[in-house]
Structure 1
Amino acid sequence: MDYIKRHMETHILQADQTFKGLLVTGARQVGKSTLLRHVFPERSYLTFDDPILLTQARTEPGLFFRNHPYPITLDEVQHIQELFPYIKMACDASDDKGLFSLTGSQSFRLMQHVSESLAGRIAIFELSGLSMREIDGTDFCKPFIPSEAYIKERGRSAKVHEDIWKLIHRGSYPALYETDVDWQLFYSSYVQTYLSRDVNDLMKIKNHMKFMRFLTAMAARTGQMLNYSKVAEQADITVATAKEWTSVLEASGLIYILQPFSNSALTRAIKTPKLYFRDTGLVCYLTKYLTPETAMNGAMAGELFETFVISEILKSFSNAGIDYHMNVTYYRGKDKSEQRESKIDLLIEDGDVLYPIEIKMSANPKLTMTNSFDVIEKIKKHRRGLGVVLCMYPEPLWLNEQTVALPIEYV
């Protein structure tokens, strides 16, 4: 397989010049170690999937860096909390930059030993699967903040896909873009590896059958508000367990929990977060949509389409080295003066500007799809940016002076 250029490369090289170390987090198989080995080919590379190295690091951490001098790349560092005090000491003892490049299959926020030891000393990046831009081979790598300038610039490289459902169904893991990979076998092996390794690392779950039912129940609810009670009922577990296991999925990079927009002017806003899987191919596997055609025509088509678009938007931020957690939310609520419920699929915040985004699996965008965008006018200290309908229409289409329909490839 030829290496697919990752948009994060430039930001990683910049961070290596200004920080003592850097950490790339993300789910298994998204290409973390491949990325670092490509960017730093001259560095020693050690993986703690190797039980011998893992034992050495745990039993003789003080001698580890005598045997393995830095600069060095360490893979799957969530396994070796014993080394982090020594990494900290090495960072503090040297003025050199770029001493360590690390990867981890768990969220930095939940790797307590990392955050306590290395806060302020390392740059942190979150790598997802391949983005649509990376698959298409485009160099455009700005975050999706849909100003008129962005739309004009993005239009120069945007490639409209004749069958976007092949991409949605295939998924974004780099290994899937090798010519001889069997889709079903890949995801079957992925799930089994995930259950036996990441799940056990984060929590010693004894009943893997129940966890599989839980994982499948969650996949069936991607793109929906997160209802722990319904998930727990379907998986035959308690609500407390459902919440605990949700944190496992989030920590290991399989899902993203999209928070609702909060503002005192929107007193009737729903406070429930929404659930999105990071990879639509995994959702298709877990929900038994075994072909692009069955996914496109199935009951979950709208949710799969929305999940794909949200994932691409998040990738556009993280690949640009930007933490998107404070930039993206959604809105749903009912204003006192109206009987209908208002809904905005995504709000992108850039300074004091809010960009409302509607996501529609339609090739016939209409202005009525954006009726809820007016709710932004009630929010003090924020201005409404350009409203966008992301859809299947093949080119930009202005619906009025404030609203444009864009092909999803413009993400």
Structure 2
Amino acid sequence: MNYIHRAMEATFLRLNKEFPALLLTGPRQVGKTTMLQKLASEENIGREYVTLDDLTERQMAKNDPKLFLQIHKPPVFIDEVQYAPELFTYIKIHVDQNRRAGDFWLTGSQVFKLMEGIQESLAGRVCLLHMSPMSQAEIYGAATAPFVLDLEQLSQRIKERTPIDTPALYERIFRGGMPALISGQYSDHRAVYSSYISTYIDRDVKELSGTIDSLRFMDFITAAAALCGQMLNYKTIADAAGIDQITAKNWLGILERLGIVFYLHPYSNNMLKRMVTKPKLYFYDCGLVAYLTKWSNSDTLMNGAMSGAILENFVVSEIVKSYQNCGWEAFIYYYRDKDTKEIDILLEDSGKLYPMEIKKTATPQKQLTRVFGVIDKATLERGTGAVLCTTDRLSAFDSQNLIVPIWGI
């Protein structure tokens, strides 16, 4: 199995020179441990690796964290650190006494559970990074930078990519971004995702919420996947899974905590009235969505009822990953008012709002950009707009509205 270089490597090494502790979070099996073990092997400083999946190590870390850090002295890489938040106080003590950059590399698979312990103990001392399933830039070896609607930067970005047609784009969506599939370690798409749900997601959900009915949970996550790219509706998901809305809300919260799903919240300010308030639901990995919603191959997905929604999910997740891989937060929203005027993406950057529409077409029409005018009353200036679509090249309707190929994101 060949190692696939990750876009976050350069970001991690750069921040490692500045911060005494770095915490890399993200769902299981996305390559956190593999990447850090690779980077550690190239350091030549003898960084020790210890995983709290090992119950003996976990028990020591929880019951005697001071002894644990005496045995596993920095520089150290502690994997799955969420199992022993008792360590955080002692890591803080060590950091305050020594202030050496790169002493602690930490990983965790339960993002928001970890945040609580860190805010209490390691605020200002730890750099937080999030790793998602692989982006198309990583998979196909292109340089990674945050996606922005700047013509010069987009032109350079497009030069580094290979144009693909719509069927090839849906093959990428269907394939997903799990390293085990991308690297060739496994070839059976269904077997990998089935195992991923039963071995990792199901187990972690039970760990966080107590006993659950695995069959109902499968119905629940399938219903959630069927609503990707749409406004969140707890009742629809609950009815499909045969659970109550409170349970549906709790389980979605756990999927968010585990780094499986995320939300786009509606953009609003005092100048824009009659806004909807519900967020839209997205999955970090479209391959998981395709598996859960039972599409047999990329052609049926491309021609099926979910083709538009899963394309939107893919675009939004790719943009978010482009920021995550640089250690940045994407200030990304959507717009919808009660007159049903909608803009798929609003990206806020440097005091401007950049509106984007996502369309499954190679020949978009300029009228798609008319809706961008609804944000002219916002307090922020409207920046360049774009239609993100299945075109084969970068072009423009005019100086303010670009046509951007999705394969270039």
Query: TM-score normalized by structure 2?
Result: 0.95
Partner of 1:314, secondary structure, is helix
Amino acid at match of 1:241: T
- Residues of 2 paired with 1:58 and 1:26: CA distance? 22
Once the two structures are superposed, the pairs formed by residues 55-70 of structure 1 within 5 Å of their partners are 55-70=59-74
Match of 1:152 in 2: 155
Residue of 321, 324, 338 corresponding to 1:318: 324
Residue of 295, 305, 321 corresponding to 1:299: 305
For residues 97-122 of structure 1, what are the alpha-carbon distances to aligned partners after superposition, in whole Å with 9 as ceiling and x for unaligned?
Answer: 11100001111465412321111111
- Residues of 2 paired with 1:73 and 1:161: CA distance? 40
Q: Does the CA-based 8 Å contact 2:108-2:114 persist in structure 1? A: no
- Residues of 1 paired with 2:113 and 2:14: CA distance? 23
- Kindly indicate whether residue 11 of structure 2 is the aligned counterpart of residue 11 of structure 1: yes
Alignment RMSD, CA only? 1.4
Amino acid at match of 2:218: M
1:12: how far off? 0.9
Match of 1:202 in 2: 208
Once the two structures are superposed, the pairs formed by residues 31-70 of structure 1 within 5 Å of their partners are 31-41=31-41, 42-70=46-74
Partner of 1:398, secondary structure, is strand
- Kindly indicate whether residue 169 of structure 2 is the aligned counterpart of residue 164 of structure 1: yes
- Residues of 2 paired with 1:194 and 1:248: CA distance? 13
Match of 1:271 in 2: 277
- Residues of 2 paired with 1:276 and 1:165: CA distance? 17
- Kindly indicate whether residue 247 of structure 2 is the aligned counterpart of residue 249 of structure 1: no
Q: Does the CA-based 8 Å contact 2:260-2:285 persist in structure 1? A: yes
Partner of 2:17, secondary structure, is helix
Once the two structures are superposed, the pairs formed by residues 246-395 of structure 1 within 5 Å of their partners are 246-324=252-330, 327-334=331-338, 341-380=340-379, 382-395=380-393
Larger deviation, residues 144-153 vs 277-286: 144-153
Q: Does the CA-based 8 Å contact 1:109-1:115 persist in structure 2? A: no
Q: Does the CA-based 8 Å contact 1:195-1:208 persist in structure 2? A: no
Structure 2 unaligned blocks of 5 or more: none
Match of 1:337 in 2: none
- Kindly indicate whether residue 21 of structure 2 is the aligned counterpart of residue 21 of structure 1: yes
For residues 22-65 of structure 1, what are the alpha-carbon distances to aligned partners after superposition, in whole Å with 9 as ceiling and x for unaligned?
Answer: 00001111111111111222421111111221122223322112
For residues 164-192 of structure 1, what are the alpha-carbon distances to aligned partners after superposition, in whole Å with 9 as ceiling and x for unaligned?
Answer: 11110011011111334211110010000
- Residues of 2 paired with 1:383 and 1:178: CA distance? 43
Partner of 2:59, secondary structure, is helix
1:392: how far off? 0.5
Match of 1:177 in 2: 182
Q: Does the CA-based 8 Å contact 2:272-2:375 persist in structure 1? A: no
Structure 1 unaligned blocks of 5 or more: 335-339
Match of 2:401 in 1: 403
- Residues of 1 paired with 2:285 and 2:94: CA distance? 37
Match of 1:217 in 2: 223
For residues 129-154 of structure 1, what are the alpha-carbon distances to aligned partners after superposition, in whole Å with 9 as ceiling and x for unaligned?
Answer: 1111111111x222111112222221
Match of 2:91 in 1: 87
- Residues of 1 paired with 2:59 and 2:112: CA distance? 23
- Residues of 2 paired with 1:48 and 1:293: CA distance? 42
Larger deviation, residues 217-226 vs 239-248: 239-248
Q: Does the CA-based 8 Å contact 1:108-1:115 persist in structure 2? A: no
1:194: how far off? 2.4
Query: TM-score normalized by structure 1?
Result: 0.95
For residues 239-280 of structure 1, what are the alpha-carbon distances to aligned partners after superposition, in whole Å with 9 as ceiling and x for unaligned?
Answer: 111111110010000001110001111111111100001111
1:315: how far off? 0.5
Partner of 1:143, secondary structure, is coil
Change in 2 beyond 3 A, CA 1:10/1:395 = same
- Kindly indicate whether residue 5 of structure 2 is the aligned counterpart of residue 2 of structure 1: no
Match of 1:118 in 2: 122
Q: Does the CA-based 8 Å contact 1:110-1:251 persist in structure 2? A: no
Partner of 2:196, secondary structure, is helix
1:341: how far off? 2.8
Change in 2 beyond 3 A, CA 1:358/1:205 = farther
Change in 2 beyond 3 A, CA 1:217/1:407 = same
- Residues of 1 paired with 2:70 and 2:132: CA distance? 33
Query: What's the % identity of the aligned pairs?
Result: 43
